[in-house]
């Protein structure tokens, strides 16, 4: 329970409505001109010294994008985005190739320090026991600034680097897998990303290798009016295992900022990928001014037999979240999992869930979603479970629980279930509850303050999902939950 106590202390130590990560780093940056056209796409590709096929791939995506329409089916509302008013590329200036962290701009390192992200390997080595070491890739606006533990990972044969670097050093791998899970034409935001993505992480785990440490990427949007479009590609070859975590923050700005990422996961025979997200983009102020539009496409392909992909997400930030981490269960007896905690407070809008597409025989999936709405927010779970006619013996279990705090917020559950064969077994459970005054009073009678009591009850509500997170991040997530619910009890 120390964590709850810490949580509460942390909440108390910050001002009401204060977003802890809302500072701006004063650093010179190099930007592409505002707006989007073929020249900008070529500019980004040239900046990254990409092979020609890649430039063509981007241009192709861009041309497709021009003919597409922004999706409107989600239960979210926002003024239309002027895509010509954004910057599509921004990089901290003076970024020559770096050999060690000592060459990174100290201002940048300070930023990550403020965010509580230990980039310096020696700090990690000194402070933490070996089993909980984490290799970190830090992405600042459009570029990756540092990746730690590369050498040690290389010894195990694991490739963990910025995707721009992978395009240079391992073009055959990138070319083989990029766009095979989320095609360049998949949807409006994914297609835009395909045209203009500037960085992100690349992971390849060779056959039979269990990745020796947690891999982690931290994304930071710093520049104003800049879209962030990162692309992550993770391949777990036969019989391998990898656990990956991403975290995200951004400064407080009065304007909305667009974040349209794409994540592709590929798991071959008997491989397992565990992908965890702690998403804490700036959510906007209490009146709904500013905040990140988080329009993200995440999909995993269980390509091999008995492969497994597990998504765990803790979503507390962003003004609008539009995100459905999904699994294509192609391999026979493959398994997909989705564990989600989505918290909305203030004026936040969340439309999130998952898709489990059962294609192979005896595939199974499990969905546990916990939505918590407070303030004047709207929180929607949208999920699709489908079984192809050849997916004999497919099984799914879905559990969606919603918790309401106060009486001005909303919780919605929109499940789509399609089965094309008679042997599939799909189960769906859903509950909606409210933190009752009785529960609060009971806890307070035992000595807990109103905030402590709310944090305790909410942590109990999300416990099944928190248990899925790697240990050190579970504690972080627990704190984050309390902070994002601050001010939700009168």
* Residue ranges binding other proteins (CB under 8 A): 1, 4-5, 436-439, 441-450, 452, 456-457, 459-464
Nearest-approach distance from CB 457 to other proteins, in angstroms: 6
Nearest-approach distance from CB 273 to other proteins, in angstroms: 27
Closer residue to other proteins, CB minimum distance, 103 or 467 = 467
Nearest-approach distance from CB 449 to other proteins, in angstroms: 5
Nearest-approach distance from CB 432 to other proteins, in angstroms: 14
Closer residue to other proteins, CB minimum distance, 53 or 441 = 441
Nearest-approach distance from CB 356 to other proteins, in angstroms: 24
Closer residue to other proteins, CB minimum distance, 342 or 385 = 342
Closer residue to other proteins, CB minimum distance, 420 or 463 = 463
Nearest-approach distance from CB 261 to other proteins, in angstroms: 31
Closer residue to other proteins, CB minimum distance, 1 or 97 = 1
Computed over its alpha carbons, how large is the radius of gyration of the chain? 22
Closer residue to other proteins, CB minimum distance, 130 or 447 = 447
Nearest-approach distance from CB 453 to other proteins, in angstroms: 8
Nearest-approach distance from CB 438 to other proteins, in angstroms: 5
Closer residue to other proteins, CB minimum distance, 78 or 442 = 442
Closer residue to other proteins, CB minimum distance, 99 or 437 = 437
Closer residue to other proteins, CB minimum distance, 94 or 436 = 436
Nearest-approach distance from CB 437 to other proteins, in angstroms: 6
3-class secondary structure for the chain? CHHHHHHHHHHHHCCCCCCCCCCCCCCCEEECCCCCCHHHHHHHHHHCCCCHHHHHHHHHHHHHHHCCCCCCCCCCCCCCCCHHHCECCEEECCCCCCCCHHHCCHHHHHHHHHCCCCCCHHHHHHHCCHHHCEEEEEEECCEEEEECCHHHHHHCCCEEEEHHHHHHHCHHHHHHHCCCCCCCCCCHHHHHHHHHCCECEEEEECCCCECCCEEEEEEECCCCCECECEEEEEEECCCCEEEEEEEEECCCCCCEEEECCEEEEEECCCCEEEEEEEECCCCCCCCCCCEEEEEEEEEEEECCCCCEEEEEEEECCCCEEEECCEEEECCCCCEEEEEEEEEECCCCEEEEEEEEEECCCCCEEEEEEEEEECCCCEEEEEEEEEECCCCCCCEEEEEEEEEECCCCCEEEEEEEEEECCCCCEEEEEEEEEECCHHHHHHHHHCCCCHHHHHHHHHHHHCHHHHCCCCHHHHHHHHHHHHHHCCCCCC
């Amino acid at each position: 329970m120390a964590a709850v106590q810490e949580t509460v202390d942390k909440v108390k130590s910050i001002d009401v409505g204060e977003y802890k990560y809302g500072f701006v780093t004063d650093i010179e940056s190099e930007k592409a001109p505002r707006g989007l056209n073929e020249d900008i796409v070529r500019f980004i590709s040239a900046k990254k010294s990409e092979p020609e096929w890649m430039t063509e791939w981007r241009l192709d995506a861009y041309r497709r994008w021009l003919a597409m329409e922004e999706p409107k089916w989600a239960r979210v509302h926002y003024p239309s985005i002027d895509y010509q008013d954004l910057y599509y590329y921004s990089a901290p200036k003076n970024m020559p190739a770096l050999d060690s962290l000592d060459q990174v701009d100290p201002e940048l390192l300070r930023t990550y320090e403020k965010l509580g992200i230990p980039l310096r390997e020696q700090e990690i080595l000194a402070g933490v026991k070996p089993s909980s070491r984490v290799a970190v890739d830090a992405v600042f606006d459009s570029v990756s600034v540092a990746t730690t533990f590369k050498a040690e990972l290389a010894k195990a044969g694991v490739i963990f680097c910025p995707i721009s670097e992978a395009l240079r050093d391992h073009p055959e791998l990138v070319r083989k897998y990029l766009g095979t899970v989320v095609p360049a034409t998949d949807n409006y935001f994914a297609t835009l990303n395909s045209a203009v993505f500037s960085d992100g992480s690349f992971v390849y785990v060779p056959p039979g290798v269990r990745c020796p440490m947690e891999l982690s990427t931290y994304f930071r949007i710093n520049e104003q009016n800049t879209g962030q479009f990162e692309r992550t590609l993770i391949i777990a070859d036969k019989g391998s295992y990898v656990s990956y975590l991403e975290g995200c923050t951004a400064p407080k700005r009065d304007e909305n900022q667009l974040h349209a990422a794409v994540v592709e996961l590929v798991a071959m025979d008997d491989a397992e990928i565990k992908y965890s997200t702690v998403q804490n983009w700036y959510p906007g102020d209490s009146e709904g001014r500013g905040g990140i539009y988080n329009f993200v496409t995440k999909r995993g392909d269980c390509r091999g037999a008995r492969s497994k992909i597990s998504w765990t997400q803790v979503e507390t930030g962003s003004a609008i979240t539009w995100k459905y981490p999904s699994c294509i269960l192609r391999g026979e007896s493959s398994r997909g999992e989705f564990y989600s905690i989505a918290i909305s407070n203030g004026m936040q809008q969340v439309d999130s869930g998952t898709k489990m597409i059962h294609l192979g025989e005896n595939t199974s999936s499990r969905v546990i979603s916990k939505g918590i709405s407070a303030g004047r927010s709207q929180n929607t779970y949208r999920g699709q479970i489908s079984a192809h006619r050849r997916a004999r013996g497919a099984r799914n279990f879905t559990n969606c629980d919603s918790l309401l705090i106060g009486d001005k917020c909303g919780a919605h559950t929109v499940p789509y279930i399609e089965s094309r064969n008679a042997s599939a077994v799909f189960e769906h459970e859903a509950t909606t509850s409210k933190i009752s005054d009785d529960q609060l009073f009971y806890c307070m009678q035992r000595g807990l303050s109103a905030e402590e009591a709310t944090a305790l009850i909410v942590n109990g509500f999300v416990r099944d999902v928190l248990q899925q997170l790697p240990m050190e991040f579970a504690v972080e997530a627990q704190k984050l939950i309390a902070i994002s619910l601050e001010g939700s009890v009168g």
